Amino acid sequence: MKQNKRILLVFGTRPEAIKMCPLVKELKGIDGFDVKVCLTGQHKEMLYSVTKHFEVFADYDLGIMRSGQGLFEITERITKGMRSLLMNLSPDIVLVHGDTTTAFATALACFYMKIPVGHVEAGLRTYDAQSPYPEEFNRRAISVIAKYHFAPTYRAKENLLSEGIKESSVFITGNTGIDALFTTVRDDYRSDLLDELSGKRVILITAHRRENLGEPMRNMFKAIKRVISEHPDTAAVYPIHLNPEVRRIADDILKDEERIRIIEPLDVFDFHNLMARSYLILTDSGGIQEEAPSLGVPVIVMRETTERPEGISAGTLKLAGVSEDGIYDSFTRLLNSDEEYSKMAKAQNPYGDGNASRRIADILKREFTD
Ligand code: UD1
Ligand code: UDP
């Protein structure tokens, strides 16, 4: 009798969970696969709210999160935790996602144990190892280790090929984040928050990147506060990241502006629906740069670089940098110019059609069971 192939999916932060849960569900539907999920627990509340929403339950949880954790601790706890798990489980393949330290440390553990890795969301690049930090290094290091590269776009595939990755190991699949988005956004969604803000242009804010902690984040918040105070028909909602350093800066600069609401992180269902109803988004997030083009909501990217140039080409994203004046100018222009705004507010789908997980599952099925 043929043995089931053992597939282990490992993830640990909110964005990885949002983009891996659709794939877990797809793989679980395939005969001949024994699918297991390991959470590293790099995030806690922000991770479990996603797995709960998608009803994906972990077989293993390394539970590594500590408040204010550093890269050394995350890397050490995950590599050691994965060593024991991989020894016990001997998976045929391990799937990791994107660019977090969870993904990098897991891939490294697999490399040490000679276990094949499949990289979901492969090939994104800025070619600046300091930005985003440490994600650009993480994703490039994973590309060196991975056997299968699931690239969301043609451009991501081209990046991989230009680095000498074998074409036969690279597959263009779309981004699984769009699969998730297609299941959450509802026409009939309503919320007390949106009711309270009715009549205002809702500006959605998120910010968390490690390289932005400190002066760049202070600049972002100062610019946002100036613009919101100058436009009484706007209200900003900021579902804050749980990093205590982010909260400290946000409290320091934004707290006394009446039309800026700092709220707890939103459940993915509420967040996607709030995005869909926002007038404009300001963010340093990666995933939001992929989701917003599908929803036709313009985004001001508060970063110096982006590994998601497809959204810039599609016209939905504007890279504003991290200076106070740069963000102030871009934000003000978009609020004051209907022409500029409507040029950006066009629904585009550069990141896929919602079937990325099915494509990845089909590829794995072909590779492992046919
Ligand atoms: C991590 C990823 C980043 C990704 C981001 C998504 C790394 C190095 N960084 O960054 O690529 O964009 O997740 O959000 O992999 N915290 C909680 N509860 C939570 C989550 C976080 O309290 O559920 C707090 C903790 O104090 C924690 C801190 O946030 O120490 C930072 O979390 P960490 O995972 O180290 O970094 P992120 O900035 O979230
Ligand atoms: N998100 C969410 N709740 C929030 C803020 C963001 O569910 O309060 C979702 C968002 O839709 C996207 C993902 O989280 O899918 C982005 O996560 P984050 O910005 O933390 O990480 P990044 O994408 O930058 O790695």
- Nearest atom within ligand 1 for CA of residue 70: 35
pLDDT in tens, 173-208: 999 999 999 999 999 999 999 999 999 999 999 999
Residue 163 per-residue DSSP state: T
Which ligand has the minimum distance to the alpha carbon of residue 69? Answer: 1
Q: What mean pLDDT is reported for the chain?
A: 97
pLDDT in tens, 14-60: 999 999 999 999 999 999 999 999 999 999 999 999 999 999 999 99
Expressed in angstroms and rounded, the spacing between residue 78 Cα and the centre of ligand 1 is 14
pLDDT in tens, 159-182: 999 999 999 999 999 999 999 999
Pocket perturbation via mutation, ligand 1, pick of 10, 19, 43, 246 by most ligand atoms within 8 A of CB? 43
* Ligand 2 contact via 239 beta carbon (within 6 Å): yes
pLDDT in tens, 113-153: 999 999 999 999 999 999 999 999 999 999 999 999 999 99
Name the pLDDT band for 2 (thresholds 50, 70, 90). Answer: confident
293, 317 contact by CB (below 8 A): yes
For position 215, what pLDDT does the model report? 97
3-class state of residue 17 by DSSP: helix
Bridge partner list, 120: 97, 150
Expressed in angstroms and rounded, the spacing between residue 246 Cα and the centre of ligand 2 is 15
| Closest to 12 (Cα-Cα) out of 99, 123, 114 | 99
> Which pair of tokens denotes residue 190?
């309503």
Which protein residue has the closest C-alpha to ligand 2 atom 14? 15
Give pTM, 2 decimals. Answer: 0.98
Bridge partner list, 234: 201
For position 104, what pLDDT does the model report? 98
Which residues neighbour 13 within 8 Å (Cβ) at sequence distance 6 or greater? 42, 43, 46, 47, 100, 102
Which residues neighbour 315 within 8 Å (Cβ) at sequence distance 6 or greater? 343, 344, 346, 348
Pocket perturbation via mutation, ligand 1, pick of 64, 66, 243, 247 by most ligand atoms within 8 A of CB? 243
Place of tokens 């946000």: 250
Residue 349, CA distances (Å) to 90, 177, 181, 204 in order: 38, 12, 12, 20
For position 1, what pLDDT does the model report? 64
For position 290, what pLDDT does the model report? 96
For position 348, what pLDDT does the model report? 83
**Statement: residue 347 has pLDDT above 80:** no
Expressed in angstroms and rounded, the spacing between residue 116 Cα and the centre of ligand 2 is 28
Helix, strand, coil percentages, rounded to 5, for the chain? 50, 15, 35
- Nearest atom within ligand 1 for CA of residue 15: 6
**Statement: residue 296 has pLDDT above 70:** yes
Expressed in angstroms and rounded, the spacing between residue 130 Cα and the centre of ligand 1 is 17
Q: How confident is the model over 287-309, as a mean pLDDT?
A: 96
For position 255, what pLDDT does the model report? 86
